[in-house]
Structure 1
Amino acid sequence: MADKIQKAYQDSKNIYDDVLTQGNIFSKLYINFFWSGTDDNEIARKVLSYIPDDFHGKLLDVPVGTAVFTYKKWGMLQNADITCLDYSEDMIEQARDRMKDYSHVSCVQGDVGNLPLKDESCDIVISMNGFHAFPDKKKAFKETWRVLKPGGRFIACFYIKGEKKITDWLVKNVLSKKGWFTPPFPTQEHLMNILNKLYKNIDFHVEGAMVYFSAVK
């Protein structure tokens, strides 16, 4: 499974940004048809708005991907200590190149199921478009919770099943088979049950087949 995921993101490294940001007509058609027009750019803006522009604590970004949505925000947070982690070497290489001039940002290859961070060491953990790709979601929830300080904030967005039939079909028959997504996937109800056991003050939103939220440990 790990090799399949690594290969999937290696094969897509040249189109990844265009698809997420709707950088060409084909990606726009794909998003409009299969994702009900859900705008990842707008969801990214809302997710990042949870982080104050004067944030100065310890932040973990997992998975960072190519940092296409985050590099400008991370560049603004000059007084923060930011670790960007991704399992894909190809993704982390692109993220590292985008943020090569940011001395306060470290880009490392690693596994969300075994984070190289101490218990309760982070003020914020952010996970954009990651949980639908993680092969062991229980470990991912456990690890992201483990490294958060009490009172720390978990911020995320990802696909959930049961909201849009055409998206569920795409995920099951194409994206999962190619290795970009990894089942099982939570429904909105299942995800809320998980979050309610781990977090409080949950600000939860669904747009199309995507969820985004902020929650406090």
Structure 2
Amino acid sequence: MKDKIKDAYESSKTIYDDVLTQGNVFSRLYIKLFWSGTDDNVIAEKVLSYIPDDFSGQLLDVPVGTAVFTKNKWSSLKNAHITCLDYSKDMLEQAQTRFTDYTHIQCIQGDVGNLPMTDETFDIVLSMNGFHAFPDKIKAFQETHRVLKPGGDFIACFYIEGKSKRTDWLVKNILAKKGWFTPPFQTEEELKDILEKLYQIVDIQIDRSMVYFHCRKR
């Protein structure tokens, strides 16, 4: 399963940024038809707004992808220590290119289901557009929680099931079969139940078939 996911993201590395940022007419049409016009640029802006502009602690970005949305924010946090992790070497190489001149940012390859960090390392764990691809989502929730300090923030966004029949059809019949998404997927209610068992503060926002949220660890 992991190899299928890695191969899928390798095959899409030349179009990945354009699809997410709606950089051409075809990606905009795709988003309009199958994602009800959800704008990942807007969601990314809202997600990143949870992170203070003067943040100076330890931050984990998993998966970093190509860093198309996070490059500007991370490069501006000069006093922070940022670890960017991804399972895909191809995605990670593109992120590394964006962060070449920034010594406070480290890019490493790794698996979210077995993070190579000790307990309670990070003040913030961010996961953008990752959980719908992770093969073992429960383990990913456990691992991101494990490496987060008490009082730390878990911030994320990803696809959730049950909000749009058209989007659910696309995910089930195309994206999952190609390896870009990996079932099972949470509904809003299932996700809320998982998060409330792990975190003391849970702020969940829904934008069509995408969820974004901010949680604080007990």
Calculate percent identity across the aligned residue pairs.
Answer: 71
**SS class of match (1:63):** coil
**SS class of match (1:215):** strand
Tell me what 1:118 maps to: 118
How far apart, in 2, do the equivalents of 1:107 and 1:190 lie? 32
The one-letter code of the counterpart of 2:208 is: G
Q: Deviations over 1:132-180 (max 9, x none)?
A: 0000001100000000000000000000000011000000000000000
Matched, 1:7 2:7: yes
The one-letter code of the counterpart of 2:144 is: T
The one-letter code of the counterpart of 1:129 is: N
Tell me what 1:175 maps to: 175
How far apart, in 2, do the equivalents of 1:41 and 1:202 lie? 23
1:2: how far off? 1.0
Tell me what 1:152 maps to: 152
**SS class of match (2:36):** coil
Which consecutive aligned stretches of 4+ in structure 1 deviate over 4 angstroms post-superposition?
A: none
Tell me what 1:33 maps to: 33
How far apart, in 1, do the equivalents of 2:108 and 2:166 lie? 35
For the aligned residue pairs, the C-alpha RMSD in angstroms reads: 0.4
Q: TM-score, normalised by structure 1?
A: 1.00
**SS class of match (1:150):** strand
Map 1:1-217; keep pairs closer than 5 Å.
Answer: 1-217=1-217
Gaps of at least 5 residues in structure 1 are none
How far apart, in 1, do the equivalents of 2:99 and 2:55 lie? 18
How far apart, in 1, do the equivalents of 2:139 and 2:203 lie? 23
1:201: how far off? 1.6
Residue correspondences, number: 217
